[in-house]
């Protein structure tokens, strides 16, 4: 087991770093969604799905 860990420590480190980055990205998206922020960053006047994207906000 120790030999396998020693041979693959770089792969384990890279996978752990990617997992941490995905966790923080998902957490940021969830926080923005709860705060009502748009994920695209563009204005909705030029968006073909503007009525679908913000239909819940219009009902409130």
pTM of the predicted model as reported, rounded to 2 decimal places: 0.60
Burial letters for 4-35: b for 16+ Cβ neighbours within 10 Å, e otherwise?
eeeeeeeeeeeeeeeeeeeeeeeeeeeeeeee
Closest listed residue to residue 54, CA positions, set 44, 46, 30: 44
Element (H, E) at 5: helix 2-7
- Are 43 and 37 spatial neighbours (Cβ–Cβ below 8 Å)? no
pLDDT tens profile 15-60: 999 999 999 999 998 998 888 776 666 666 667 766 676 555 555 4
């Amino acid at each position: 087991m120790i030999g396998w860990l020693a041979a693959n420590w770089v792969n384990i480190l890279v996978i752990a770093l990617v997992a941490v980055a995905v966790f923080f990205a998902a957490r940021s998206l969830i926080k923005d969604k709860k705060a009502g922020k748009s994920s695209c960053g563009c204005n909705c006047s030029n968006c073909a799905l503007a009525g679908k994207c913000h239909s819940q906000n219009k009902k409130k």
